[in-house]
Amino acid sequence: MNQVVLLLGGNIGNVKSVFSETIKLIETLCGKLLLKSNLYESEAWGFSSNNNFLNQAIKIETELSAMDLLKSTQSIELKLGREQKTSIEYQSRLIDIDILFYNSDIINTETLIIPHSKLHLRKFTLDCLMDIIPSYIHPKLKQSIRELYEQCTDTEKVWPYE
């Protein structure tokens, strides 16, 4: 079985409800839910938006390969109403599912980069990860999530979602 950490994000519509549906679909199509972080709210990262984002990290156990997991998470995004990406720029979205870690594998292909290349730069991601895997050692950076969190220079505001 593969241990995987995913990050859910969204800022359009009833995001909390979309996350619930996303997790149900992940459990049906991908694997068993092991852990989930609290919900965190933050301002948009990397672009300007009138809507704040919600984020949540989940850890699952799956038999799927990394590429099959990517295909499944992308199909879940589309099933829930996410529009196809029209550019490489960041934009508001109904749901986004990022694969942050897949076991301790390092994968670098045209369509999939694991560990996620920007997770250590984003406070909203690290806040979520601190809830579920603070001692996990980043396979590429060789530091714990706690160490990455303490060193993060991201100044965007992140707060627990009420």
d(CA 35, CA 132): 6
Q: Kindly report whether the peptide bond that precedes residue 139 is cis, defined as omega within 30 degrees of 0.
A: no
Confidence of residue 51 (pLDDT cuts 50, 70, 90): confident
Give one DSSP letter per residue of 134-155, joined into a string.
Answer: TTPBPTTT--BHHHHHHH----
DSSP secondary structure letter of residue 29? H
The residue among 84 and 39 whose pLDDT is bigger is 39
The predicted structure's pLDDT at residue 81: 81
d(CA 40, CA 158): 7
DSSP secondary structure letter of residue 82? P
The predicted structure's pLDDT at residue 91: 59
The residue among 45 and 84 whose pLDDT is bigger is 45
- Give the CATH number of the domain where residue 62 resides: 3.30.70.560
**Rounded to the nearest 10 degrees, how much is the dihedral formed by the CA atoms of 106, 22, 11, 135?**
-40
The predicted structure's pLDDT at residue 151: 97
The predicted structure's pLDDT at residue 43: 82
Give mean pLDDT, residues 40-54. 81
d(CA 83, CA 21): 17
Look up the domain containing 58 and give its range: 2-160
Lowest mean pLDDT among 44-53, 60-69, 106-115, 147-156: 44-53
The residue among 30 and 156 whose pLDDT is bigger is 30
* Total domains present in the chain: 1
Lowest mean pLDDT among 39-48, 56-65, 86-95, 114-123: 86-95
The residue among 45 and 52 whose pLDDT is bigger is 52
pLDDT, mean over the chain: 92
Strands (E), 27-78: 31-36, 40-42, 53-62
Confidence of residue 66 (pLDDT cuts 50, 70, 90): very high
